[in-house]
Structure 1
Amino acid sequence: MWNRLFGNGSDAASPSVAVVRDITIGRQVRVDPLAWRRLPGAAFTLDRDTLEISAQGIIKLDEGGYVHRFYTDDELMLQAVSQKADGSDADDFTLFRPWTSTYPAGPWDTAFADRLRKPDWEEAGLPPYRRFWYPGDDREQPPVQLWEAVYWERDAAPVKHVKQACMLYARDVAEGGVVAGQELLLAIAMQPERGDLTHEIMVGLPLLPAEFSA
């Protein structure tokens, strides 16, 4: 899972996107359905095991390293974290699906931003989640700030840069008192340059390298 805190900054050094484990724009990714079927009662489910990648995002981390995001037309997101820009050493993989997307009531509406600082997250229709970052710390903490460059073509310039403030949460999923795995919740306040601010909730799960292929 994500074991590095994100920093802010945008990646505009190269118009070309990385190919991570053979995954990039225009390719298919097959995911083992057991990755979510083994989590009874999880909110994360999918009705297919093949992802058609139509867009790709890159985030450069202040501390070094990169976050690579691969999107489908219906906004499923496969994410990989690496130290190298080409993603060849990626070792941290997660898969997310959208849960809700809302607009703030106005510039004065800071409720979502305030929630991002809390150690727990409660969302309608979902069980409680505990903050994954800042483990063991129950104090309020600032959300992680980042910029994502989004591409629609492999060898073109990014179509947009998106400013994000986010926090990652997790919960154990158990069956018969035995923990079967973890489910993740990613809360994001996101705003493209010259675009509108939205509040995004995504649910997901960590993936092992053996659980997907392109």
Structure 2
Amino acid sequence: MFKRLFGSNDRTPPAAALAEVRNITVGRTVALDPLAWRRLGDETHFALDRDALEITAQGVVALDGGTFVHRFYTDDHVMLQAMSDDEAGASSYDFSLFTPWSSAYPPGERERRLWRDRLSEPRFKGAPEGLPEYPRFWFADSEERQPPVTLWETIYDDRAATAPYAKIFQTCMLYARELAGGRELMLALEQEPEGGDVSHEIMIGIPLEMAEFRA
């Protein structure tokens, strides 16, 4: 009772509520090796004007089979992503870095249906957005139409948060094209935040080796 009335002298910091992937979480700075994208030369559409990311939000996606996707965001929507076999992010692998390319708000259901149709094709024709054609990375062994992947991402903007900042339902497909200097990724998705407006997003990405970033 006295602790509730007058406070406690216990100065132990609260346990972190969010995962840390290789020391990365909200409030940390990630140092990047620019050679990760410069080696792709002039062929790539990936562009980043700095070698450090200030992480201001992070998201987590729980996939079937006990796999998790951890995403770390800057204020200008650069995204560092990692896969993990545990929610805490201790066994992380398959790192990638994405920057936003385009964003649009579909005016109606027809435009949403046309977007989902584009995401179902084995190749994404990106001419309307100023991009080349990208082969599908997910379901790459099939030339048949495939429905895009759907998932929920829970996003936090406070390291000690007990409630999420946002929850976003996503319909997405991942693509990749091989360049002389390596692989370029493209993520196309429809985002539907709880209580927010639907948007269609395209992000350009690159794979990252573990030695190419640190926090």
Asked if these proteins are the same fold (TM beyond 0.5), I'd say yes
Counterpart position of 2:78: 76
Gaps of 5+ in 1: 1-14, 175-179
Gaps of 5+ in 2: 1-15
Aligned partners of 1:108, 1:42: CA distance in 2, in Å?
A: 32
What corresponds to 1:60 in structure 2?
Answer: 62
How many residue pairs get matched?
A: 196
Aligned to 2:95: 93
Aligned to 1:28: 29
Selected match of 1:164 from 155, 170, 173 = 170
Equivalence map 1:36-55=2 (5 Å): 36-40=37-41, 41-55=43-57
For residue 205 of structure 1, what is the aligned residue in structure 2?
206
Matched-pair identity in %: 54
The higher radius of gyration belongs to 2
State the shift of 1:172 in Å: 0.6
- Displacement after TM superposition at 1:101 (Å): 0.4
Q: 2:73, 2:104 → 1: CA distance?
A: 19
| CA-CA distance at 1:108 after TM superposition | 2.7
TM-score normalised by length of structure 2: 0.89
Deviation, 1:105, is 2.2
Choose the corresponding residue for 1:149, options 131, 134, 154.
154
Judge conservation of contact 2:46–2:205 (CA < 8 Å) in 1.
yes
Post-superposition offset of 1:107:
2.1
Q: How far apart, in 2, do the equivalents of 1:38 and 1:192 lie? A: 36
Once superposed, what is the RMSD of the aligned Cα atoms? 1.3
* C-alpha separation in 1, matches of 2:95 and 2:119: 23
Counterpart-to-counterpart distance in 2, 1:88 and 1:135:
29
TM superposition shift of 1:153: 0.2
Structure 1 residue 86 displacement after superposition: 0.9
Q: CA deviation at 1:85?
A: 1.0
Name the residue aligned to 2:125. Answer: 122
SS at match of 1:111: helix
The separation in 2 between residues aligned to 1:168 and 1:209, in whole angstroms, is 21
Secondary structure (helix, strand or coil) at the match of 2:97 reads strand
Higher helix share: 2
CA separation in 2, counterparts of 1:201 and 1:39?
19
Normalising to structure 1: TM-score of the pair? Answer: 0.89
Structure 2 matches for 1:108-119, cutoff 5 A? Answer: 108-109=110-111, 110-119=113-122
Shift of 1:90: 0.4
